[in-house]
Amino acid sequence: QVQLVESGGGLVQPGGSLRLSCAASGFIFSYYAMSWYRQGPGKERELVAAITSATGSPNYVDSVKGRFTISRDNAKNTVYLQMNNLKPEDTAVYYCRARRVVYGLDYWGKGTLVTVSS
């Protein structure tokens, strides 16, 4: 049974930090590209950061470059999102996604809420 379980969300003040984790099970984690998406209040879901399966190369949406870092630990079947200097506009539900495009495989977690407010 495939599972992606996000954790680490919560309430943080502007300028603060959080580290999100996504624990994967039920598939060969190292074969999959991993990404973090978010959906803010009244907004569409957007890609925040992604990391490839083979080289672990990261990519980021412009609004988080220099503040967020995506990483993966294939031994622990976990992908992380380190979020620094958080802003109120980062408030959203953050989702983890696993994809193996060649085989049309695509899995989502249920999300974790991040609220940035003073």
pLDDT band at 55 (very low <50, low <70, confident <90, very high): confident
35-45 pLDDT, tens digit each: 999 999 999 99
Closest CA to 35 of 61, 62, 63, 3: 61
**Which residues of the chain form beta strands (DSSP E)?**
3-7, 10-12, 18-25, 33-39, 46-51, 58-60, 68-73, 78-83, 92-100, 105-108, 112-116
Interior angle at CA 69, CA 33 and CA 49, nearest 5: 45
pLDDT number for residue 56: 82
pLDDT in tens, 68-102: 999 999 999 999 999 999 999 999 999 999 999 99
Residue 26: its pLDDT value, please?
97
